[in-house]
């Protein structure tokens, strides 16, 4: 489905862009070529291709989420101005 000049003008208006007439004509042609290529890609048989996120399997670049240092509650709360049941005690701010 080729793009029409009216469609391009509507998109330009939505994006609050303005182009000279010769640029609009060139853009209509270029977008038409992109859409034609996308249509060509849509006709390819991809039923046997498994979904993927990358071309190559890069694995998980992150380390395992394991706690390596258990927090010491008394040490963490040593400088707290107020504490209650192992937590910081803060003033109530919601009525």
- The pLDDT tens digits of the residues spanning 12-65 come to 999 999 999 999 999 999 999 999 999 999 999 989 988 887 788 777 778 888
How many CB atoms sit inside 10 A of residue 35's CB? 13
Residue 6 has a pLDDT of 93
Tokens at 46, concatenated: 């991809």
What is this structure's pTM? Answer: 0.50
C-alpha–C-alpha distance, residues 24 and 3, integer Å: 11
Q: Structural domains in the chain?
A: 5-42 (1.10.20)
pLDDT band at 95 (very low <50, low <70, confident <90, very high): confident
């Amino acid at each position: 489905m080729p793009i029409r000049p009216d469609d391009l003008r509507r998109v330009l208006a939505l994006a609050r862009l303005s182009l000279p007439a010769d640029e609009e004509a060139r853009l209509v042609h270029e977008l038409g070529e992109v859409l034609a290529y996308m249509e060509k890609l849509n006709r390819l048989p991809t039923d046997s291709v498994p979904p993927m996120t990358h071309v190559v399997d890069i694995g998980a670049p992150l380390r395992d989420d394991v706690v390596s240092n258990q927090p010491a509650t008394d040490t963490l709360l040593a400088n707290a101005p107020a504490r209650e049941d192992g937590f910081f005690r803060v003033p109530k701010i919601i009525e």
